Amino acid sequence: MTTSRHNRSGFSLVEVILATALAGLFVASCAGGLLFGVRMSKEAGRKSQAVFLAEEGLEATQNIRDAAYSNLSAGTWGLTTTGNQWNLSGASDTTGIYTRTQTIAVVDATKKSDTSTVSWKEVTGTTRSVSLVTYFANWIAATTTAGGLMSYGDGTTTPKYRTYDTVANTFGSQTATVVGSSGVTTVTRASPLKTEAITGYVTAAGVLNVMCYDGAAWTQEWSVTVGGTGTTRRFDVAYETNSGDVMVLYSRNVATTNELAYRTKLGSSGCGTANWAAAANLDPVRTSGTVQWVKMAWDRRSAQNLITAIWADSNSDLSAMVWSGTAWGNEPSAASETSLEVVAAAQDVEDFDVEYETTSGDVMMVWANSAGSNGTNGVRYRTCTGGTSACTWNAVTTPPTFADDATNLDISANPNTDEMVFASVGNAGSDMQIGYWSGAAWTDNANVDVSCNTPVAGGKIVATGWLISGATTRSVVIYGDNATTNVDWYTGIAGVFTLQTDVTLSPAPTTPQSFLEAQMNPLSKDTIMYSIAENANDLYSKRVVMSSTPTFTWTNSDGAVLVPTLPQKITNPFSFAYWRL
pLDDT digits (tens, 9 = 90+) for 319-375: 999 999 999 999 999 999 999 999 999 999 999 999 999 999 999 999 999 999 999
Lowest mean per-residue pLDDT among 173-177, 224-228, 505-509 = 505-509
Over the chain, what is the mean pLDDT? 91
Q: Given this model, what pLDDT does residue 256 score?
A: 96
CA-wise closest residue to 492 among 422, 410, 574: 422
**Whether residue 469 has pLDDT greater than 60:** yes
* Beta carbons within 10 angstroms of residue 206's beta carbon: 17
**Residues in contact with 432: Cβ distance below 8 Å, sequence separation at least 6, in sequence order:** 423, 424, 425, 447, 448, 449, 450, 452, 462, 477, 479
Residue 12: exposed, middle, or buried by beta-carbon count in 10 A (0-12, 13-18, 19+)?
A: exposed
| 141-578 CATH, one of 3.30.460.10, 3.10.20.600, 2.130.10.10, 3.40.50.2300 | 2.130.10.10
Q: Given this model, what pLDDT does residue 2 score?
A: 45
Q: Given this model, what pLDDT does residue 45 score?
A: 86
Alpha helices in 476-570 (DSSP H): none
The whole-angstrom separation of Cα 369 and Cα 550 is 37
* Beta carbons within 10 angstroms of residue 18's beta carbon: 12
Q: How big is the chain, counted in residues?
A: 581
3-class secondary-structure state, position 207? strand
Residue 560: exposed, middle, or buried by beta-carbon count in 10 A (0-12, 13-18, 19+)?
A: exposed
Q: Which residues of 180-201 are buried (b: 16+ CB within 10 A; e: fewer)?
A: bbbbbbbbbbbbbbbbbbbbbb
Q: What is 309-348 written as a DSSP string?
A: EEEEETT--EEEEEE-SS-EE---SS-SBSSB--SSSTT-
pLDDT tens across 112-155, in order?
Answer: 889 999 999 988 888 999 999 988 876 554 444 469 999 999 99
At 56, phi and psi to the nearest 5? -60, -40
Q: Residue 357 in contact with residue 381, Cβ under 8 Å?
A: no
The whole-angstrom separation of Cα 381 and Cα 383 is 7
3-state SS track over 364-393 = EEEEEECCCECCECCEEEEEEECCCCCCEE
pLDDT band at 5 (very low <50, low <70, confident <90, very high): very low
The whole-angstrom separation of Cα 202 and Cα 576 is 16
CA-wise closest residue to 492 among 468, 478, 475: 475
3-state SS track over 120-143 = EECCCCCEEEEEEEEEEECCCHHH
For the whole model, what pTM was predicted?
0.78
**Residues in contact with 137: Cβ distance below 8 Å, sequence separation at least 6, in sequence order:** 110, 111
Q: Given this model, what pLDDT does residue 557 score?
A: 95
Q: Which residues of 114-125 are buried (b: 16+ CB within 10 A; e: fewer)?
A: bbbbbbbeeeee
Q: Given this model, what pLDDT does residue 308 score?
A: 98
Residue 522: exposed, middle, or buried by beta-carbon count in 10 A (0-12, 13-18, 19+)?
A: middle
Q: Where are the chain's structural domains?
A: 29-137, 141-578
**For range 247-276, the mean pLDDT:** 97
pLDDT band at 1 (very low <50, low <70, confident <90, very high): very low
Q: Given this model, what pLDDT does residue 497 score?
A: 98
Maximum Cα–Cα distance across the chain: 153
Q: Given this model, what pLDDT does residue 33 score?
A: 60
3-class secondary-structure state, position 560? coil
pLDDT tens across 211-254, in order?
Answer: 999 999 999 999 999 999 889 999 999 999 999 999 999 999 99
pLDDT tens across 15-55, in order?
Answer: 767 777 776 676 666 666 666 666 667 778 889 999 999 99
pLDDT tens across 413-458, in order?
Answer: 999 999 999 999 999 999 999 999 999 999 999 999 999 999 999 9
**Whether residue 8 has pLDDT greater than 60:** no
The whole-angstrom separation of Cα 342 and Cα 348 is 6
Lowest mean per-residue pLDDT among 9-23, 140-154, 499-513, 564-578 = 9-23
pLDDT band at 403 (very low <50, low <70, confident <90, very high): very high
- Indicate if the alpha-carbon torsion angle 565, 569, 574, 576 is positive or negative: positive
DSSP run (H or E) holding 301:
none
Q: Residue 525 in contact with residue 483, Cβ under 8 Å?
A: no
Q: Given this model, what pLDDT does residue 4 score?
A: 45
**Residues in contact with 491: Cβ distance below 8 Å, sequence separation at least 6, in sequence order:** 467, 474, 475, 476, 477, 497, 498, 500, 552
**Whether residue 102 has pLDDT greater than 90:** yes
Q: Which residues of 78-97 are buried (b: 16+ CB within 10 A; e: fewer)?
A: bbeeeeeebbbeeebbeeee
3-class secondary-structure state, position 296? strand
CA-wise closest residue to 545 among 530, 560, 531: 530
pLDDT tens across 47-101, in order?
Answer: 999 999 999 999 999 888 877 777 888 889 999 987 677 889 899 999 999 999 9
Q: Quote the Cα angle for 303-211-561, to 5°.
A: 100
**Whether residue 376 has pLDDT greater than 70:** yes
CA-wise closest residue to 104 among 74, 62, 65, 70: 74
Lowest mean per-residue pLDDT among 96-110, 337-351, 386-400 = 96-110
CA-wise closest residue to 95 among 76, 116, 112, 71: 116
In percent, the amount of the chain with pLDDT more than 90 equals: 79
The whole-angstrom separation of Cα 320 and Cα 209 is 24
